[in-house]
């Protein structure tokens, strides 16, 4: 029997995200980040963002030429150095069985959303633990599979870097699931993109504690590892590549990630990339719709305007 496409795409993405992570470490080690501003000082790009994206898109598109792959850093030159091309699929992942409902998905039905370096602002400031590589795998318009690679995670055995993955219908891997303390409401939100509206939404939810960290990937890791109950971001700043992989991993775990009104974003290839209606993510133990109801209407109206 041939291996189902979704399993092969996940397995190649796992190895490719780790290679991109090593490129991110190499650029930092060399010390010349090559920072440019994209849409302003809140929107930076470095040599690491550019090179990691080239590695990911060249590797995935070579093996899966019929898949639409959309990366944060725009069109990439795919004539990359041989050492950046990943062709091996992750064997450990391939030992899992494919969920029944995903057995027959054809290459043309996938859309892959790539954020080669999430938490660029934190990367440039040396807050390296916040940095992740995100590869999100959508089928038609839904986020189904995701890889969150953390290039600076320190393993207990001394190894550096870890891969967290999730696939709907199969589950998650690469981390120790943990629930946050009961009777509290710990919210994680932006560290570098705080605005009055972001603050207003936090206040409306009366958190017992707020954890400000960088990156959409790192914030979802806070939910998976019991550091926070919810991720709340009342801003149009995130884009589909920020949320596709985190949404798939969180939902494979039993949680939920939507816009602030509680509606799932579409990850179809032809959508507007902007997550205009913000981000709301919750752990499985929390009623997502209950939290969405607590978001004041005027905040939703402001985002919608
Ligand atoms: N105003 C913005 N402009 C550009 N990117 C943004 C903006 N707000 C959020 N992002 C992206 O969403 C991620 C999560 O946001 P935050 O860290 O503020 O919570 C950021 O790391 C950044 O991704 P990236 O670092 O990949 O460019
Ligand atoms: Mg960016
Ligand atoms: Mg990002
Ligand atoms: Mg990025």
Residue 49 is among the residues annotated as catalytic for this protein:
yes
- The verdict on 142 and 244 lying in the same domain is no
Ligand 1 touching residue 242 (CB < 6 A): yes
Ligand 1 touching residue 43 (CB < 6 A): yes
User: What is the rounded distance in angstroms from the CA atom of residue 146 to the CA atom of residue 138?
Assistant: 9
Mean pLDDT over 243-261 rounds to: 99
Ligand 1 centre from 216 Cα, in Å? 7
Answer whether residue 12 is part of any domain.
yes
- The verdict on 145 and 244 lying in the same domain is no
- The verdict on 202 and 298 lying in the same domain is yes
Answer whether residue 179 is part of any domain.
no
What CATH number corresponds to the domain at position 261? 3.40.190.80
Does the annotation list 118 as a binding residue?
yes
- The verdict on 272 and 130 lying in the same domain is no
CB 166 within 8 A of CB 145: yes
pLDDT tens for 44-99 read 999 999 999 999 999 999 999 999 999 999 987 889 999 999 999 999 999 999 99
Does the annotation list 203 as a binding residue?
no
Ligand 1 centre from 295 Cα, in Å? 21
Domain end, chosen from 109, 144, 173, is at 173
User: What is the rounded distance in angstroms from the CA atom of residue 305 to the CA atom of residue 300?
Assistant: 9
Answer whether residue 84 is part of any domain.
yes
Annotated catalytic residue: which of 49, 163, 188, 189? 49
- The verdict on 248 and 166 lying in the same domain is no
Mean pLDDT over 211-240 rounds to: 98
Mutation choice for ligand 1 from 74, 197, 230, 238, CB with most ligand atoms inside 8 A: 238
- The verdict on 123 and 196 lying in the same domain is no
Domain end, chosen from 131, 150, 173, is at 173
Answer whether residue 261 is part of any domain.
yes
Looking at residue 284, what is its pLDDT? 98
Domain end, chosen from 145, 173, 201, is at 173
- The verdict on 273 and 150 lying in the same domain is no
pLDDT tens for 85-104 read 999 999 999 999 999 999 99
- Please count the structural domains in the chain: 2
Ligand 2 centre from 145 Cα, in Å? 21
- Alpha-carbon Rg for the chain in angstroms: 18
Ligand 2 centre from 212 Cα, in Å? 18
Domain membership of residue 234 as a residue range: 186-304
Answer whether residue 69 is part of any domain.
yes
- The verdict on 121 and 30 lying in the same domain is yes
- Residue 170 vs residues 3, 4, 155, 214: alpha-carbon distances, Å: 15, 13, 25, 28
Judged on CB neighbours under 10 Å (0-12, 13-18, 19+), 74 is: exposed
User: What is the rounded distance in angstroms from the CA atom of residue 291 to the CA atom of residue 28?
Assistant: 39
Ligand 1 touching residue 151 (CB < 6 A): no
For ligand 2, an ion, list residues with CB under 5 A: 120
Answer whether residue 213 is part of any domain.
yes
Looking at residue 78, what is its pLDDT? 85
């Amino acid at each position: 029997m041939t291996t189902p496409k979704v399993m092969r795409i996940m397995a190649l993405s796992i190895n490719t995200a780790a290679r991109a992570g090593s490129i991110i470490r190499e650029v930092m080690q060399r010390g010349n980040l090559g920072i440019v501003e994209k849409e302003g000082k809140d929107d930076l790009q470095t040599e690491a963002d550019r090179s990691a994206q080239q590695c990911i898109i060249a590797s995935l598109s070579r093996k899966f030429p019929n898949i639409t792959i959309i990366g944060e850093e725009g069109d990439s030159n795919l004539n990359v150095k041989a050492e950046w091309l990943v062709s091996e699929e992750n064997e450990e992942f391939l030992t899992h069985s494919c969920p029944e409902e995903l057995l027959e998905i054809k290459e043309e039905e996938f859309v892959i959303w790539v954020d080669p370096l999430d938490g660029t602002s934190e990367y440039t400031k040396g807050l390296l633990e916040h940095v992740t590589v995100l590869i999100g795998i959508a089928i038609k318009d839904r986020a189904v599979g995701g890889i969150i690679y953390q290039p600076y995670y320190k393993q207990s055995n001394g190894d550096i870097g870890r891969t967290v993955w999730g696939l709907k219908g199969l589950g998650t891997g690469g981390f120790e699931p943990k629930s946050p303390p009961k009777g509290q409401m710990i919210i994680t939100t932006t560290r570098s993109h705080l605005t009055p509206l972001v603050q207003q939404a936090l206040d409306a939810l009366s958190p017992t504690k707020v954890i400000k960290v960088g990156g959409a990937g790192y914030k979802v890791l806070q939910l998976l590892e019991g550091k926070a109950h919810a991720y709340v971001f009342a801003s149009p700043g995130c884009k589909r590549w920020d949320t596709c992989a985190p949404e798939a991993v969180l939902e494979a775990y039993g949680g939920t990630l939507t816009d602030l009104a509680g509606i799932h974003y579409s990850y179809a290839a032809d959508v507007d990339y902007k997550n205009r209606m913000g981000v709301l993510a919750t752990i499985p133990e929390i009623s997502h719709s209950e939290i969405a109801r607590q978001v004041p209407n005027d905040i939703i109206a402001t985002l919608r305007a």
